[in-house]
Amino acid sequence: MFRTPLYNACVKAGGKMTDFHGWELPVQFSGILAEYGAVRNALGVFDVSHMGRFFIDGKNAHKFLQTICCNALKNEPGAGTYSHVLNENGGVIDDIIAFCLAQDKFLVVVNSATKEKDFNWFNSRAKNFDVKITDRSVDLGMLAVQGPKALEVVGGLAENIKNLKRFHIEEKTLFASSCYITRTGYTGEDGVEIMAPPPVIEKVWDFFLSEGKKYGVLPCGLGARDVLRLEACYLLYGADMDETRTPYEASCPWVVKLNKAENFIGKAALIKQKAEGVKEKLFYFHLLGAGVPREGNLIFYGGKQAGKLTSGTYSPVLKGICCGYAPANLGEGAEVEIDNNGRRMKAVAVKKFRDNKV
């Protein structure tokens, strides 16, 4: 079991720790509903130090990343791009965010469960490029602050942070140490992520819990995060997509740039699949009545089994929400049934659950 630099701070704050892909992380603190409410109405703080942080240095840094990512990565200092890393069959090895620090330097944030796999994959594909790949996941802790009051509180920590654009990065000095601040998020609310050396990330954590108190800040765990991200229709790698699914099947066609100059791994497979069409794809379903859908529940359409859920939860506002793979011709507005241990729950296929604020 691995522990993040914020493990002791999370325990001190009342975190109920659990095993998450080999990391001891808080599933909740004061309660999932309370933490959910804090993020939607004020701000919440998440320990996301378990995620991987790779630095790609060298004159071929951008060119290299373009060949292993299907999206067109921005090569402007400060800009970030969300992308999928694919295998030769077009399957998703991981979903990442690549931030350009300089023309020859990138910071790539990867998922914790795939960190070792990603690092090996990156290195195996870097042999013909002038690049150096460094895993600095241990050197930097990472936390996320999300909610409508997040930037207001962050402003007391770093000047002009409100000017940081969405999906951008800036290097700042916090508590006399060089740190990175990004503006992305996994909740559908505005906010930032801060990457800092372990001793500093603890001070940043304490700062937010102290300065955010007047707004009702709460430390938040994996439970609230899962509800928030599913409401926002954000996918969870390893559940909603993996190496057996392509971006087209995962309903992320926008992340594929077939016309970019560089040839990328998996491109041929995606060209073929786009021409032929997908047989299955990911749909979002909203329950029409009471019930809590769960991962693994079967999807029935027209009385016949049509697919399986990959994620499902109870939303305090939306009630039962879920997503899963079903025949591509199902269509938005189609009514289905979700089977939870023999109980059939009616649901409708929707484009999204809510209007995200970012």
Domains of the chain: 7-49+138-231 (3.30.1360.120), 52-131 (3.30.70.1400), 279-350 (2.40.30.110)
In this predicted structure, the answer to whether residue 357 has a pLDDT above a threshold of 80 is no
Q: Which of 130, 110, 107 is nearest to 121 (CA)?
A: 110
Q: Which of 129, 165, 84 is nearest to 181 (CA)?
A: 165
Residue 258, pLDDT score = 98
How does DSSP classify residue 297? P
Residue 261, pLDDT score = 92
Burial of 148 (0-12, 13-18, 19+ CB in 10 A): middle
Q: Under a CB-based contact definition with an 8 Å cutoff, are residues 43 and 147 in contact?
A: yes
Average pLDDT over residues 251-265: 97
Indicate the pLDDT class of residue 260, thresholds 50, 70 and 90. very high
Indicate the pLDDT class of residue 255, thresholds 50, 70 and 90. very high
What is the rounded CA–CA span in Å between residue 18 and residue 27?
6
Residue 355, pLDDT score = 85
Give Cβ neighbours of residue 261 (< 8 Å, ≥ 6 apart).
66
Residue tagged 């690049």 (tokens): 131
What is the rounded CA–CA span in Å between residue 327 and residue 340?
20
Q: Under a CB-based contact definition with an 8 Å cutoff, are residues 68 and 120 in contact?
A: no
Number of H helices, E strands in the chain: 8, 19
DSSP 3-state of 340:
strand
Q: Under a CB-based contact definition with an 8 Å cutoff, are residues 55 and 136 in contact?
A: yes
Residue 109, pLDDT score = 98
Q: Which of 156, 192, 165, 194 is nearest to 178 (CA)?
A: 194
Task: Give the strand pairing for 218-220 and 44-47.
Answer: parallel
What is the rounded CA–CA span in Å between residue 7 and residue 231?
27
What is the rounded CA–CA span in Å between residue 217 and residue 233?
24
What is the rounded CA–CA span in Å between residue 53 and residue 50?
9
Average pLDDT, rounded, for the chain: 97
- The separation between the first and the last C-alpha atoms of the chain, rounded to the nearest angstrom, is 35
